[in-house]
Structure 1
Amino acid sequence: MDHEKVNILLVDDQPAKLLAYEVILKDLGENLVIASSGREALEVLLKTEIAVILVDVCMPELDGFELAAMIREHPRFQKTAMIFISAIQVSDIDRLRGYEMGAVDYVPVPVVPEVLRAKVKVFAELYRKTRELERLNQDLEDRVRARTAELENSTAKLRESEERRSMAIAAGKMGSWDWDWVSGDWMWDDGQYRIFGVSPESFEVNPANVQALLHPDDVDQLRKAIAEFNKGTRAYETEFRIIRPDGEVRWCVGTAAATADPNGRVVRVSGVTVDITERKRAEERQNLLAREVDHRAKNALALAQSIVRLTRADEVKAYVDAVEGRINALARVHTILSLSSWQGAELSKLIDEELAPYSPGGQVKLAGPAVQLLPATAQTLALALHELFTNSAKYGALSTRSGRLAIDWQVENDLLTLSWEETGGPLVRTPKSRGFGTRSLLASVESQLGGQAHFDWRSEGLLCLLEVPLTRKSAATSAAQDRFEASTSPELQRASG
């Protein structure tokens, strides 16, 4: 009987002995693999599955004991059978050492061919049977696992289907029908009439009337189903739309099954219709929400990315403080917009949020009408205000108790004009060069919002005037971040922040 051959590794440093072992074991019909040193044997083991190792105890460099110890250290070979061949008298201590190293048997020299063949055959057959048993066990486990998963899946689907049917029937969103393929007679239950928005008293169920209620783009679905059943198809499922007599469009999923006579001809088709309009609407809302979240997240990340990349500072701490401040400003306006469901942000609320970290007491006066800012305008203006407040707290009016800050704004012809006036602070000198804060403020207001920013570095305090359009087309905001980076990056690389 043919059987799968196994590999037997013969390890000896003397070619004559290896040849002798080959001759002795040739009749076993297994694959004989030769190694002339311990190192060569290790290389073979890493590349080949070995059933039995026949190894000489006395070899240069690595003797049989050392080789056995190295083999046993590898998890793959901990159960590999090893037979030691020894040309010297082996003491009981050596035998114990060999067994500890993983030997399963000893063969003394001169080797008796029948004995060696018998020993190797036993271990080769044991290896083969073990592998076959492992494969059988694995196959059985795989089949049991697959069958269990199949049963669990079938049970889950059956339960889910039954739950859906029960809920649909209870909610009046499922109907059933029956079509006599021979006579052409139709039968609808009450649920079917409710789904189509018609009544049994006024609606005659026939192919022409049913087709009239289908959405024009989905009429081909009915024709396709009829063609499929005529070809021998026994089940069909599709989604389609109906237009009720009152004009309302509803989404449905229809499942149909055919009954054939002994000759294989279709005689009856029965089916179920489920109204899935709410599910479709929910999917549309979900898709819209996902696109909106994706758009807002990209905008926020783009702003955060430019803040991190363009902020400059001489020290790590100063850099961290600058980045955290700008990110926090972005987070504060994000919170305001979230509370309004991203409808917009009130300007005074925006100023209050940016002003809060400095706790100026009565140093700041605000004056202006209620102004609702679009989300993109609010985000950009929040960062601009953050730069003004930060600079004022470091070097301007808010850096001393005697300083005062007046913020006034007004709106005319959809143009917001905001005045920032500082007095009573340290003596102000016109800067020789603009830092990151000033440059980013200019870039954000002018490039992103299409407005203007004017600075007057008076000795008694900074006077800043911001002019921001309130009705700039939202389409322009999608490329605003790119324009901001393109217009500011060269200069900001040299700015100290």
Structure 2
Amino acid sequence: MDHEKVNILLVDDQPAKLLAYEVILKELGENLVIASSGREALEVLLKTEIAVILVDVCMPELDGFELAAMIREHPRFQKTAMIFISAIQVSDIDRLRGYEMGAVDYVPVPVVPEVLRAKIRVFAELYRKTRELERLNRELEDRVRARTAELENSTTKLRESEQRRSMAIAAGKMGSWDWDWISGDWMWDEGQYRIFGVSPESFAVNPANVQALLHPDDVDQLRKAVAEFNKGTRAYETEFRILRPDGEVRWCVGTAAATVDDSSRVVRVSGVTVDITERKRAEERQNLLAREVDHRAKNALALAQSIVRLTRADEVKAYVNAVEGRINALARVHTILSLSSWQGAELSRLIDEELAPYSLGGQIVLAGPEVQLMPTTAQTLALALHELFTNSAKYGALSTRSGRLAIGWQVEDQLLTLNWEETGGPLVMPPKSRGFGTRSLLASVESQLGGQAQFDWRAEGLLCRLEVPLTRKTAATAPGKFDVASASELQRASG
């Protein structure tokens, strides 16, 4: 379909990437404008009307965040769509920062052409439609002004209708209503019925029926609004909840304005109701995310601190390797959990991540069903498995080519049983004392998860049995929460 081309600004300091974006976006049929730096992009914006800005996050001098902030400071570009391209893993904190700076979306590298085209196409079309609406609005306003002189007898009704229409356009997901203060008659539009979850055929609009749909805790503030109009208030706005007939609770914001006669007596009240439930939920999710990020960061730091403090080694190099290994194990399980939005992790995935450096020549055999672990359980087991693999690689079956390791697990009555069996390695002698790895493994599995860890130091190889309940409260806490008391458990174990 023929349409007016819009300008799309591509900002990147690397010519090869700019060329790649041009090739990807060429088939959209839009005007592609190139800028090789943030400053050049600002110069282009001052001279050209831009619909969408595609900007690389990492650039010298002005990075993507700084450029976005400068663009948003200009009143003319406060609504211009900006899409960030990032070649690094973007955290939730970085995403929030980007959105605060004005980004409308993120595109990770490597760029998927179809995805990039789809995102650009959406915002380009939105820009076109916005401009078309502005043009239509200007034309409509011109026609209204032209007809006003011919329709002097209906000026009041036309003004009221135009006011409701303008408010509807501005509000978006909304409904409008009108209340004749003298006769008591009500008028609801289709949007108002939809917000309240009722139909014009079955619902009679009157004060009693409307009040029945209001949340009991919010009835008084609506009564207060009526009282304010009787006192001379001309406009009122408030947030309130409604209880739909199907039991769903929705958040709304209501705005009302009074019309008075020549003696300043209220004769009509008109208003708009906007459903803001999604906004409320988004605010709750954002607050929850901020709390979760803070909690996870504190717990991860607490656990890392305990690892650093309690690790023992005779040499600096051995100490560094031990600490790095344990922290990397924690980082790997955090990556797995983040991919599931901290809903959980598969046991087989945890084992695969830990055995990757040792899976040579078929030395390792795995057997067990798919088991979904809660986040706390996953973190603790990941560290336990890391200790077992590390010890096996140093002293056990994985320290020689002839060694074999079999890992099997099963679940019965919500109890996970994991068997670790080493054979074919060096001759095993029972240790005279337990090292940090064994002590921390016992402390975490038994104290943190309420399970058991049993070791059998057979001459032919270590046999370890871990029993972990999958439904214990400490193992089923909210996603991302790790009991910082584990640090004190490790302290007692190391003592």
Distance 1:23 1:416, change over 3 A: closer
RMSD: 23.0
Match of 1:495 in 2: 493
Worse-superposed segment, 134-143 or 371-380: 134-143
Kept after mapping to 1: 8 A contact 2:181/2:267: yes
Kept after mapping to 1: 8 A contact 2:236/2:255: yes
Worse-superposed segment, 386-395 or 427-436: 427-436
Question: Which structure 1 segments of 5+ residues have no match?
Answer: none
Kept after mapping to 1: 8 A contact 2:302/2:484: no
Corresponding residue SS for 2:341: coil
Distance 1:351 1:162, change over 3 A: farther
- 1:239 matched to 2:236? The reply is no
Kindly state the Cα deviation for residue 192 of structure 1 after the two structures are TM-superposed.
2.8
Q: For 1:107 and 1:277, how far apart are their aligned partners in 2?
A: 28
Worse-superposed segment, 77-86 or 241-250: 77-86
Question: Which structure 2 segments of 5+ residues have no match?
Answer: none
Q: For 1:196 and 1:54, how far apart are their aligned partners in 2?
A: 41
Distance 1:263 1:364, change over 3 A: same
Distance 1:306 1:177, change over 3 A: same
Worse-superposed segment, 101-110 or 163-172: 101-110
Kept after mapping to 2: 8 A contact 1:396/1:426: yes
Runs of 4+ in 1 over 6 A off after TM superposition: 1-167, 480-497
Corresponding residue SS for 2:104: strand
Kindly state the Cα deviation for residue 333 of structure 1 after the two structures are TM-superposed.
1.9
Distance 1:163 1:330, change over 3 A: farther
Corresponding residue SS for 1:3: coil
Tell me the percent identity.
Answer: 91
Kept after mapping to 2: 8 A contact 1:252/1:276: yes
Worse-superposed segment, 340-349 or 68-77: 68-77
Q: For 2:88 and 2:373, how far apart are their aligned partners in 1?
A: 98
Worse-superposed segment, 129-138 or 15-24: 15-24
Distance 1:401 1:283, change over 3 A: same
Deviation string 1:246-297 (CA, Å, 9 cap, x unpaired) is: 5544322111122344554433322222122332333344444445555544
Q: For 2:203 and 2:184, how far apart are their aligned partners in 1?
A: 16
Worse-superposed segment, 63-72 or 329-338: 63-72
Kept after mapping to 2: 8 A contact 1:448/1:483: no
Aligned pair count reads 495
Q: For 2:260 and 2:116, how far apart are their aligned partners in 1?
A: 71
Match of 2:142 in 1: 142
Kept after mapping to 1: 8 A contact 2:449/2:475: no
Kindly state the Cα deviation for residue 228 of structure 1 after the two structures are TM-superposed.
1.3
Kept after mapping to 2: 8 A contact 1:440/1:488: no
Match of 1:98 in 2: 98
Distance 1:146 1:283, change over 3 A: farther
Match of 1:486 in 2: 484
Corresponding residue SS for 1:494: helix
Kindly state the Cα deviation for residue 446 of structure 1 after the two structures are TM-superposed.
0.8
Distance 1:398 1:260, change over 3 A: same
Kindly state the Cα deviation for residue 452 of structure 1 after the two structures are TM-superposed.
1.4
Kindly state the Cα deviation for residue 234 of structure 1 after the two structures are TM-superposed.
2.2
Worse-superposed segment, 271-280 or 382-391: 271-280
Kept after mapping to 2: 8 A contact 1:313/1:496: no
Distance 1:242 1:75, change over 3 A: closer
Kept after mapping to 1: 8 A contact 2:72/2:102: yes
TM-score using structure 2 length: 0.59
Q: For 1:57 and 1:474, how far apart are their aligned partners in 2?
A: 40
Worse-superposed segment, 194-203 or 177-186: 194-203
Q: For 1:350 and 1:27, how far apart are their aligned partners in 2?
A: 43
Kept after mapping to 1: 8 A contact 2:296/2:480: no
Kindly state the Cα deviation for residue 356 of structure 1 after the two structures are TM-superposed.
0.5
Deviation string 1:428-478 (CA, Å, 9 cap, x unpaired) is: 32222211111111111111111111222233322222222222124776x
Kindly state the Cα deviation for residue 366 of structure 1 after the two structures are TM-superposed.
2.2
Q: For 1:116 and 1:354, how far apart are their aligned partners in 2?
A: 35
Distance 1:281 1:422, change over 3 A: same
Corresponding residue SS for 1:294: helix
Deviation string 1:11-33 (CA, Å, 9 cap, x unpaired) is: 99999999999999999999999
Distance 1:273 1:150, change over 3 A: farther
Worse-superposed segment, 86-95 or 446-455: 86-95
Deviation string 1:294-332 (CA, Å, 9 cap, x unpaired) is: 554444343333223322333333222112111111122
Deviation string 1:112-134 (CA, Å, 9 cap, x unpaired) is: 99999999999999999999999
Q: For 1:247 and 1:25, how far apart are their aligned partners in 2?
A: 47
Distance 1:468 1:319, change over 3 A: same
Kept after mapping to 1: 8 A contact 2:409/2:418: yes
Kept after mapping to 1: 8 A contact 2:363/2:404: yes
Kept after mapping to 2: 8 A contact 1:174/1:191: yes
Worse-superposed segment, 91-100 or 415-424: 91-100
Kept after mapping to 2: 8 A contact 1:404/1:424: yes
Kindly state the Cα deviation for residue 381 of structure 1 after the two structures are TM-superposed.
0.8
Worse-superposed segment, 8-17 or 243-252: 8-17
Kept after mapping to 2: 8 A contact 1:439/1:488: no
Q: For 2:25 and 2:362, how far apart are their aligned partners in 1?
A: 103
Q: For 2:10 and 2:22, how far apart are their aligned partners in 1?
A: 8
Worse-superposed segment, 351-360 or 121-130: 121-130
Worse-superposed segment, 413-422 or 161-170: 161-170
Corresponding residue SS for 1:465: strand
Deviation string 1:188-243 (CA, Å, 9 cap, x unpaired) is: 33433333344555544332333233233222122100111222222211112233
Match of 2:266 in 1: 266
Q: For 1:257 and 1:469, how far apart are their aligned partners in 2?
A: 61
Distance 1:311 1:58, change over 3 A: closer
Worse-superposed segment, 232-241 or 163-172: 163-172
Rg larger for? 1
Kept after mapping to 1: 8 A contact 2:174/2:272: yes
Kindly state the Cα deviation for residue 390 of structure 1 after the two structures are TM-superposed.
0.6
Kindly state the Cα deviation for residue 391 of structure 1 after the two structures are TM-superposed.
1.0
Deviation string 1:129-156 (CA, Å, 9 cap, x unpaired) is: 9999999999999999999999999999
Worse-superposed segment, 91-100 or 135-144: 91-100
Kept after mapping to 1: 8 A contact 2:439/2:494: no
Kept after mapping to 2: 8 A contact 1:448/1:481: no
Deviation string 1:38-90 (CA, Å, 9 cap, x unpaired) is: 99999999999999999999999999999999999999999999999999999
Q: For 1:122 and 1:347, how far apart are their aligned partners in 2?
A: 40
Q: For 1:115 and 1:332, how far apart are their aligned partners in 2?
A: 28
Kept after mapping to 1: 8 A contact 2:447/2:489: no
Q: For 1:392 and 1:110, how far apart are their aligned partners in 2?
A: 38
Match of 1:123 in 2: 123
Q: For 1:107 and 1:402, how far apart are their aligned partners in 2?
A: 48
Kindly state the Cα deviation for residue 92 of structure 1 after the two structures are TM-superposed.
72
TM-score using structure 1 length: 0.59
Distance 1:458 1:162, change over 3 A: farther
Corresponding residue SS for 1:493: helix
Q: For 2:349 and 2:96, how far apart are their aligned partners in 1?
A: 86
Kept after mapping to 2: 8 A contact 1:447/1:483: no
Kept after mapping to 2: 8 A contact 1:360/1:398: no
Worse-superposed segment, 289-298 or 397-406: 289-298
Q: For 2:398 and 2:97, how far apart are their aligned partners in 1?
A: 85
